[in-house]
Structure 1
Amino acid sequence: MIENIKHTILVKAIELFKKNGFKNVTINEICESCNITKRTFYYHYDSKKTLLLDHFSLVDENIENTLKDIDKETTWLGKCWKVKQIYISGIANLNADILKNLIIIDMEQQNHMFSFVLNDFDPNLKRLRQIVIEYTRKGQEAGEIDANISPEDLSYCFASAFLGLAVSWSSTGGNYDLVEASKKYFYLIYKKK
């Protein structure tokens, strides 16, 4: 029951954030939307910021189903992109305002959510990065990906490029296709020269 309430708060709040903008939504509005008291809200979440951070961890919650489809890819390079695409598509679905606020919260609280190196902020994201590093190694062995750069450095380079794209996309109101822009930079970084 308690988890259902927490999930309801999360879902309703995200709907409100998407509709009205993160900064324009109050805790009172979230409580009204969920038909709960402020006390109930604060039992589950310390603030709107913690609620938004919790939502970020749902970006890749359907990872298992998506990973099954990756085997259909014929190249290691294609598999690497598919894994990256899981995460990037989830981010793009947040909307530009929510992403902008997530980036700001991450900077303020130093959660390392958008860190270029592996960390434990989000176990699913860490797992995705580990899979990409492994696929990159296999792609290098197969001659599909430049073997002169370590898989970790390639991952770091793409994470850096993606963070730049995420900041640009969210600061321009999401006026271009984040997934397609990311794909372009992915292939520029990963493809064998």
Structure 2
Amino acid sequence: MESLTSRQKKALETREKLLKTSLDLFNKYGFEHVSVEQITKACNVSKGTFYTHFPSKYDVILEKFMELDQFYSTVEKNIDPSLSASEKILFVYQQQMNYLTKVVGKDLLRTVYTAAMTNQVEQDHYLINPQRKIFQIMNTYIEEGIRQGEFRQDVSAPNIQAIIRRCMRANVYDWLIHSEDFDLASEMAQFTTIVLDGLKSHK
């Protein structure tokens, strides 16, 4: 692999600086109250430089969230194939909640959720995009559970998928608005287990 030129290294440094500064400003003032001009002034670069690296300020957040989806690919590889579909779903959520708590943190997640609720983000934004890795993994397990008769046949796969996705968002939202004594991983496990039990076939 060829080493980077000094110009390429400089570009990467600028991108990283824009990324960090943007997130710091979002956390301090709120996503909707920070302009691209504020970001570029703080970094001492032009607006053109910002747009060279990020199409919009929301794309700064997407950059970090896409890193999170890379984590899910690693989790998927470590799942025991002998587990039931429900157990696989619970395992993925357990790993996800631990990662959000210990690595991502509340500040960034609050920024993501706040940005998703503003009119500055398109309706089909990344947070709910069905092509996200986490949703693709969950869909695979849900379809597996339906095929194997673990889940009810009277509820369609898309409806089960929507319910399982809401388990994630609801618990993360609760975590963001509660104090530090809210254990995201255990609350998610309890909540999702109850939901999954209601979706199982009880023939």
Query: Taking structure 2 as the reference length, what is the TM-score of the superposition?
Result: 0.67
The whole-number CA distance in structure 1 between the counterparts of 2:165 and 2:42 is 33
Contact 1:96 1:174 in 2 (8 A): no
% same residue? 20
Correspondence for 2:39 among 27, 30, 33: 27
The whole-number CA distance in structure 2 between the counterparts of 1:141 and 1:149 is 13
Query: Which 5+ residue runs of structure 2 have no aligned equivalent?
Result: 1-7
Contact 2:135 2:165 in 1 (8 A): no
Residue matched to 1:34:
none
The whole-number CA distance in structure 2 between the counterparts of 1:23 and 1:73 is 47
Counterpart secondary structure, 1:147: coil
Contact 1:161 1:185 in 2 (8 A): yes
- 1:22-171 aligned at under 5 Å gives the runs 22-23=28-29, 27=39, 31=43, 37-39=44-46, 40-41=49-50, 43-45=52-54, 48-71=57-80, 74-92=83-101, 93-108=103-118, 109=121, 110-115=123-128, 119=130, 123=131, 125=132, 127-171=133-177
Query: Taking structure 1 as the reference length, what is the TM-score of the superposition?
Result: 0.70
**More displaced 10-residue stretch of structure 1: 157-166 or 100-109:** 157-166
Q: CA deviation at 1:105?
A: 0.9
The CA deviation string for residues 22-75 of structure 1, in whole angstroms up to 9 with x for no partner, is 4289637963xxxxx322445424665432232122112133322210135522
The CA deviation string for residues 76-113 of structure 1, in whole angstroms up to 9 with x for no partner, is 22122233445444444422232222112112113433
Contact 2:40 2:50 in 1 (8 A): no
**Alpha-carbon RMSD:** 3.3
Query: Which 5+ residue runs of structure 1 have no aligned equivalent?
Result: 32-36
State the number of aligned residues: 178
